[in-house]
Structure 1
Amino acid sequence: MNRITSKMPVFETGSVWLVGAGPGDAGLLTLYAYEALRQADVLVYDALVGQDILELTGPDTLLEYAGKRGGKPSPKQKDITERLITLAREGKKVLRLKGGDPYIFGRGGEEALMLAAHDIPFRVIPGISSGVGGLAYAGIPLTHRETNSAVTFLTGHDASGAVPNVKWEHIAKGSPVIVLYMALKHIAIITERLIGFGRPKDEPVAVIFKATTDEQQVIVSTLEHVTADVEKSGLKPPALIVIGEVVKLRPDLDWYSEFLASKTAK
């Protein structure tokens, strides 16, 4: 046992670990996440967790799907949280595995608060958010000294599924780079609002589909034309949208497309 593995926390029975699985590529899991997968008695996982990650669990681990996808029948958040509590009270080591990071548009805070309210011991293991990892795999730096020193992360819908009620005027005028999660459904409304509040129509936009996976595809467009380009492509969520001059760096930094092409050619 080396120095790192000897310092790994013990996954105690009757506890819940809220773990980020990262944006898709299993190689982006943290060591803590990997250890949790190996030790868990029960894995309660989200829709965007890939099969290669699920296969890292132990042979006796029980897998329970708890995926939530927009517009499709999904477990209610209350039911998921109650299931975590029940499993923990049965003395299980419960791993709640979420795509990306549990606390970035992942409802991890809601689950952690409920666990705390019911005196269930828990631990939070951060994961690489798609807003960071997905952009890196698309050849788009999240920040760059010549383009932006600030970033705004937004979800594309609120708890009811509607366009979020945020101060769009301030976002349009104040943030050089905007990263939108789960926004494909409302992309037309969002781009219209940004343009209406003064955002340039020709500002570059990238839409990253199935980020960091072998199926990743990227559409590069402009704020004015991105809705039509996405519709024309026929591509479906999950998708991440990034708006800003930083998108222009992609032609020189698109390392992952070359990797996928070389992988296919073998």
Structure 2
Amino acid sequence: MNGKVWLVGAGPGDPGLMTVKGLACLRNAQAVVYDRLVNPVLLEEAPPACEFHDVGKEANCHPIPQPQINQILIDCARRGLRVVRLKGGDPFVFGRGSEEAQALREAGIACEVIPGITSAIGGLAAAGIPVTHRDHASSFHVVTGHLRAGNQPQEWHKLAALPGTLVVLMGMAQLREICAALIDGGKPALTPSAVVMHASTPLQQVVSAPLARLADASEAAGFHAPALIVVGKVVSLREVLAFDGPK
């Protein structure tokens, strides 16, 4: 008989932010297929006899292509194993979890999704930045800065016109272009903005600046991926809400 695959969100980086249900699945796994952004501490929660498959990707470096990852999941399940596909953040928030779930369904493999805390919310909260606030933002929008090759680029001028908070994942390689495009689209140059690197981990760093100067401030601080970009009035609340004190 086939086994089963659980697509589990590991959260934004802090291992304590993984869900109770996700942790229970991990502790009962016979195979774990994990991403680069998964905190290594979580792997220690798997049983000693568990087998591990590192399928981590970096920007412009995919040593194990997505179809091969799908096949690893299918092969492990067909061996009758309990398989945990451990993904950073939430499996369905720019994590290609839906593609993996589709492949498993087509192969006749049982699959269950266990949501995780996306960095777009949990990572910003760890930096003292709420995505909404009654006085500053009644909505938030999460977009990716890295689209599949061949797809149309993000329409930053339309995003610039939206009210509320804008959160950009996987956008560090284009930070300067994103900031310029938002300003060209009408977003005020003085809009409070920030970059959060290694969100919710002991390595977390934050740089805040008006939108027009965010790219310069980020480069001066030596920031790089993985990092979150956030644009909106809620960034100004960091001075009050940051866990590590005013910044």
Aligned counterpart in structure 2 of residue 179 of structure 1, from 167, 176, 179: 167
Counterparts of 1:106-121 in structure 2 under 5 Å? 106-121=95-110
2:123 is the alignment partner of 1:134: yes
- Give secondary structure in 2 for the equivalent of 1:224: helix
Contact 1:16 1:94 in 2 (8 A): yes
- 2:114 & 2:9 partners in 1: Cα distance? 6
The aligned amino acid for 2:232 is: G
- Give secondary structure in 2 for the equivalent of 1:225: helix
- 2:69 & 2:150 partners in 1: Cα distance? 19
Aligned pair count? 245
Check 1:32–1:161 CA distance in 2 against 1; reply closer, same or farther (3 A cut): farther
User: Normalized against structure 2, the TM-score is what?
Assistant: 0.96
2:226 is the alignment partner of 1:238: yes
**What residue is the counterpart of 2:208 in the other structure?**
220
* Aligned-pair CA distance for 1:29: 0.9
Contact 2:132 2:164 in 1 (8 A): no
* Aligned-pair CA distance for 1:13: 6.1
* Aligned-pair CA distance for 1:159: 1.3
Counterparts of 1:40-119 in structure 2 under 5 Å? 40-119=29-108
* Aligned-pair CA distance for 1:161: 9.0
* Aligned-pair CA distance for 1:39: 0.6
Deviations 1:17-42 (A, max 9, x none): 00000001111111111111111000
- 1:111 & 1:246 partners in 2: Cα distance? 35
* Aligned-pair CA distance for 1:54: 1.0
**What residue is the counterpart of 1:254 in the other structure?**
242
The aligned amino acid for 2:54 is: Y
The aligned amino acid for 2:162 is: G
- Give secondary structure in 1 for the equivalent of 2:212: coil
The aligned amino acid for 2:223 is: L
**What residue is the counterpart of 1:196 in the other structure?**
184
2:16 is the alignment partner of 1:14: no
* Aligned-pair CA distance for 1:75: 1.1
Q: What runs of 5+ residues in structure 2 fail to find an aligned partner?
A: none
- 1:73 & 1:174 partners in 2: Cα distance? 33
* Aligned-pair CA distance for 1:137: 0.4
- Give secondary structure in 1 for the equivalent of 2:136: coil
Contact 1:140 1:253 in 2 (8 A): yes
Contact 2:194 2:209 in 1 (8 A): yes
Q: What runs of 5+ residues in structure 1 fail to find an aligned partner?
A: 1-11, 259-266
- Give secondary structure in 1 for the equivalent of 2:84: strand
- 2:219 & 2:123 partners in 1: Cα distance? 21
Contact 2:33 2:55 in 1 (8 A): yes
- 2:184 & 2:143 partners in 1: Cα distance? 18
* Aligned-pair CA distance for 1:107: 0.3
* Aligned-pair CA distance for 1:51: 1.4
The aligned amino acid for 2:241 is: L
- 1:24 & 1:215 partners in 2: Cα distance? 10
- 2:139 & 2:74 partners in 1: Cα distance? 39
- 1:42 & 1:160 partners in 2: Cα distance? 31
**What residue is the counterpart of 2:139 in the other structure?**
150
**What residue is the counterpart of 1:4 in the other structure?**
none
**What residue is the counterpart of 2:154 in the other structure?**
166
* Aligned-pair CA distance for 1:180: 0.4
Contact 2:145 2:154 in 1 (8 A): no
Contact 2:30 2:51 in 1 (8 A): yes
* Aligned-pair CA distance for 1:242: 0.6
* Aligned-pair CA distance for 1:74: 2.5
- 2:228 & 2:83 partners in 1: Cα distance? 29
- 1:128 & 1:176 partners in 2: Cα distance? 20
- 2:109 & 2:235 partners in 1: Cα distance? 44
